Structure 1
Amino acid sequence: MIDLYSWATPNGHKVHIMLEECGLPYRVIPVNIGTGAQFEPKFLKLSPNNKIPALLDPDGPDGKAIHLFESGAILLYLAGKTGRFLPPDTHGKYEVLQWLMFQMSSVGPMLGQAHHFRVYAKEKIDYAIQRYSSEAQRLYGVMNTRLASSKYIGGPEYSIADMAVFPWLRSWKSQGVKMGDYPYLKGWFDEIAGRPAVRRGLEVLADMRQAQLDEQAHEVLFGEQQYRKHPLH
């Protein structure tokens, strides 16, 4: 059985959804990032970047156990393990991969910054809010244009690219975006949101996450602890 170390965040949701879509047996080990569980030595051995999710599969390649961090790498691993949600032909595979990289390099980081400066930052900095809100709107436009000519983000079939992007768009209001301004993207979003496996994936650990950050959680997530040197282990 796969062990998934995770929390109810967009990056966690990506992998929850993939595991539900594939029907693989898995066990979730909560990593409460609001209390600092991501800095514990046991977790850092799996995820040296102290970010969720991390995966441990005792039945890895060649029958050997494997552990992975980074949600994009985990999605690719699970697609390879199951032969699902990544096209087998070279052209189709790379079409999906470019959009997966687009999510990893742009959608996640930029929407995360928009959300941070608009919602979580204690000091409201107009320049940062404007910059990242504008970038969020630009990225939504890129995806809307893509979906005007493609049924799914990665091509004609539902894929790991869709699973990677979707969780990040659930907080569109907090990113300074009006979803109704992007009709093709909204249609896609509503379709993905209706998939049973997606709904199940979003429920994983959802009851454990705080609706709002308290002072301690805010300090753990955004304070000096993030930048301390962790001891070797």
Structure 2
Amino acid sequence: MMPITLYGHHAGPNPKKVVMVLEELEIPYEIKFLEFSEMKQPAYESINPNGRVPAIYDPNTKITLWESGAIIEYLVAKYDTERKISFEPDSAEFYQAKQWVHFQASGQGPYFGQAVWFKIHHKEQIQSAVDRYINEIRRVSGVLNGFLEGRKYLVNDKYSYADIVFVPWFEVVTWVAADCIDLEKDFPNVYAWLTNLKSHPAVVEGLGAKSEAPKKL
């Protein structure tokens, strides 16, 4: 099997989700790290017209994909034949896993990302914007915390890609909202869930994929 090419950035949470799945399924891969300026050049926009990471090229199928959720769904559909971190097609769990992946992509990533932008990168401090997105971190964490009451994992109490996709963005909470959100105290079910997830070697490997916290401008 030829290695899949993963395009990423050293500070990007979304490529790390893909690394975790690649590692969990023991799929050979190589990472090509891009600087932000390279993502907006024609060479990369021919791969991902949105000019963001991640994207993959699978030489085994000649398929190029972008958007982390789509990439992960492709990887588990194509390569998780033993259903190690996924579910039987057309089962209730199969669709429930997709539900959580869509919630992560629409409800967690964008809001946590905007919290990072307005707290760390925006040149003008706009407190109302910071407050809005910090509150969204609380809201999303609350949704998960409530659902995880009495549960170990999100889908049928089985460790799956539906859990994995949430991990990287929660890593930003400790430095973007450490002064106002204590996951262990405020969202104990989420904290226990994340602690368990981060005991998996594939998750550890993904979090360590050229990890570096963004610096304030």
Q: Same fold (TM over 0.5)?
A: yes
- CA contact 1:13–1:167 (8 Å) conserved in 2: yes
Over aligned residue pairs, what C-alpha RMSD do you find? 1.6
5+ long unaligned stretches in structure 2: none
Deviation at 1:203, TM superposition (A): 2.0
- Going from structure 1 to structure 2, the CA distance change for 1:154 and 1:43 (only over 3 Å counts) comes to farther
Matching of residue 123 in structure 1 with residue 154 in structure 2: no
Count the aligned residue pairs.
206
What displacement does 1:148 show?
Answer: 0.8
Structure 2 counterparts to residues 1-233 of structure 1, below 5 A: 1-8=3-10, 9-33=12-36, 36-60=37-61, 65-83=62-80, 84=83, 85-89=85-89, 90-173=91-174, 174-175=176-177, 176-180=180-184, 181-206=186-211, 209=212, 212=215
Task: State whether residues 154 and 163 of structure 2, in contact with CA within 8 Å, keep that contact through their aligned partners in structure 1.
Answer: yes
Is the alpha carbon distance of 1:210 and 1:163 closer, same or farther for their aligned partners in structure 2, counting shifts above 3 Å? Answer: closer
CA distance in 2, matches of 1:106, 1:126: 21
Report the equivalent of 1:226.
none
Q: What are the Cα deviations for residues 44-92 of structure 1, in whole angstroms up to 9, with x where unaligned?
A: 11111001001000112xxxx0000000000000001112422115201
Q: Distance in 2 between matches of 1:155 and 1:42?
A: 42
* TM-score, normalization by structure 2: 0.89
Q: Would you say the 8 A contact 1:22–1:82 is kept in 2?
A: yes
Higher helix proportion (structure 1 or 2):
1
Identity of aligned residues (%): 34
- Runs of 4+, deviation exceeding 3 Å: none
TM-score normalised over the length of structure 1: 0.83
1:221 match: none
The answer as to whether partners of 1:143 and 1:185 remain within 8 angstroms in 2 is yes
5+ residue gaps, structure 1, are: 216-233
Which amino acid in 2 is paired with 1:80? A
Cα distance, 1:12 vs structure 2: 0.9
Q: Give the CA deviation at 1:210.
A: 6.7
Q: Which residue identity is paired with 1:74? A: I
